[in-house]
Structure formats: structure tokens, C-alpha cells
Homo-oligomer: A and B are copies of this chain.
Amino acid sequence: MADRTARTTSHRAAPAHTHPDDVPLQTALAALADPVRLQLVRELAGSADWTRACGSFDVPVQKAALSHHFSVLRQAGIVEQRDAGPKRVNRLRREEFDARFPGLLDLVLRQDPLDR
């Protein structure tokens, strides 16, 4: 009790993250080998950090599945999340992920003729 001095907000459990350095290559590849997650990453790359809440993405799944996909991306070290009031805002871990898997994000973010 009485420790609310330094509290920002949120008594919510912080989401479980994994640093890219602790992510096996297979996990990273598997995380990106999904159309929904690929779209999330691409949309996220086009927005400034911490400006996009989970629900703000244009993906054809319900919010339960969406939550699952963000969990996968978190544990693959691709996105970082932070609670901002009732929303949970996202950031693409560009530098850290790029240091661990050089070129992979570039590859994913480069729009290709065959992708849809």
C-alpha cells in the first residue's frame, strides 16, 4: 500500500515480451509466415512508434485472434507493447530485431509483386 507515487497508470499485468536476442530463427520465421501477422507488421512499420493500438489494424479477424497474433509477435521479439490507458499501443522493434536478424525486416517490408 502507498506505493502509488511512481505509478504511471495500469495495474494490469505487463505483457510478456521476448528480446530479439533470445529468439530462435525458426520462431522469427514462423511468426512472419502468416498473412495476418505480416499485415500487422507492415501496417505498423508505416506508423510512428506508440501511435497504433491493437484494435486499429485492418485485419479480417476477431479481437481474440488478433490478441493471439500480437502475443506471437511479442514473443518473436518483433513488436513491443505498452499500456496507455485502456488501450495497448505498439511499436515495431526495428533496431533490435534488425541487429539480431539483419535484412529480415527489410525483406518483409519491401512490397513484392506476388504478395497480397
Contacts and interface: CB of A to CB of B under 8 A. Distances in A.
Interface of A: 22-26, 29-30, 32-35, 38, 101-104, 106-108, 112, 114-115
A26 B39 CA distance: 11
A101 B115 CA distance: 13
30 contacts: A22-B114, A23-B114, A24-B112, A24-B114, A24-B115, A25-B38, A25-B107, A25-B112, A25-B115, A26-B33, A26-B34, A26-B35, A26-B38, A26-B115, A29-B29, A29-B30, A29-B32, A29-B33, A30-B30, A30-B33, A33-B33, A101-B107, A102-B103, A102-B107, A103-B103, A103-B104, A103-B106, A103-B107, A104-B104, A104-B107
A32 to B, nearest CB: 5
Given A25-B115, A30-B33, A102-B107, 4 more contacts: A26-B34, A26-B35, A26-B38, A29-B33
How many copies make up the complex?
2
A72 B38 CA distance: 21
A33 B31 CA distance: 9
